[in-house]
Amino acid sequence: MSDKLDSGEFDDTKNFEEFEYSPNFTAVPEVFHSFMEEGPFSKCTMCDGTLLKDGTPYLIHKAFHRGEVIFEYAMCLPCRAKIQEELSAESLERINAYMDQYHIEDRSESLLAEHGTEVAPWISHCLISGKPIEGEDEYHYYAFCDGPDLVFNGLPMALAGGVDEELNELLSKQTRDRLDGFVDEQFGLPPELRKPIKGSPILI
Ligand SMILES: [Zn+2]
């Protein structure tokens, strides 16, 4: 990962003062639109709560197989908290520890400075393997949004399919079962459009 900041020399506050204010959000781009809704996600996949008002934070996860959407959801933060409560504490800890190695938040400043609010450079490579997403059979896109906007806060990011499996191995059986149930209930696509996928969504 060539764009990694050398954070050893500066602390965050110092770095911050050196940059002029630039917006850290942009209108949700098409790649994070809903395939089902043919436009921005307007409601939470789980609770149907509306999402497009300012001050409504939510996560988007879209999974692709050979360029086709195989599942998608938008999840408001209260629903995310509910799911996390059902997962085992060890699984969440293992996933957080695994993701912490990659210092997701650290990349925001350098990517914003270099590319402004362009989304493509954030999702062009798998965050974990560093390999280009182009050419991967299966990949996942994640974004954090607020109302009509995508917010750059470490996300958006892309993960390649194989990485998904690696993460799934960190999950306890209880968590695995719960997530499989979640995918069955909340695929976000009608059954006729569903395709088998190897892993389930990772909740971040
Ligand atoms: Zn919800």
**Ligand 1 centre distance from Cα of residue 41 (Å):** 12
**Ligand 1 centre distance from Cα of residue 185 (Å):** 14
**Ligand 1 centre distance from Cα of residue 29 (Å):** 21
**Ligand 1 centre distance from Cα of residue 109 (Å):** 30
**Ligand 1 centre distance from Cα of residue 116 (Å):** 30
Q: For 99-116, what is each residue's pLDDT tens digit?
A: 888 888 888 888 999 999
**Ligand 1 centre distance from Cα of residue 46 (Å):** 5
CA 103 distance to own-chain centroid: 14
**Ligand 1 centre distance from Cα of residue 152 (Å):** 21
**Ligand 1 centre distance from Cα of residue 82 (Å):** 9
Residues 6+ apart with CB under 8 A from 136: 126, 160, 161
DSSP 3-state of 175: helix
**What is the pLDDT confidence band of residue 28, given thresholds at 50, 70 and 90?**
very high
Q: For 129-154, what is each residue's pLDDT tens digit?
A: 899 999 898 899 999 999 999 999 88
**Ligand 1 centre distance from Cα of residue 74 (Å):** 8
pTM score of the predicted model: 0.79
**What is the pLDDT confidence band of residue 86, given thresholds at 50, 70 and 90?**
confident
Q: What is residue 85's DSSP assignment?
A: H
**Ligand 1 centre distance from Cα of residue 69 (Å):** 21
Contacts 24+ apart (CB under 8 A), 166-174: 166/128, 167/95, 167/98, 167/199, 167/202, 168/199, 168/200, 168/202, 170/91, 170/94, 170/95, 170/98, 171/91, 171/94, 171/95, 172/88, 172/90, 172/91, 174/87, 174/88, 174/91
- Residue (of 157, 165, 202) closest to 3 by Cα position: 157
Of 142 and 46, more confident: 142
Return d(Cα 86, Cα 92) in angstroms, integer: 10
Residues with CB under 5 A from ligand 1 (ion): 44, 46-47, 49, 76, 79
**Ligand 1 centre distance from Cα of residue 44 (Å):** 5
- Residue (of 114, 120, 165, 115) closest to 138 by Cα position: 165
Task: Please name the residue that has the structure tokens 């917006």.
Answer: 23
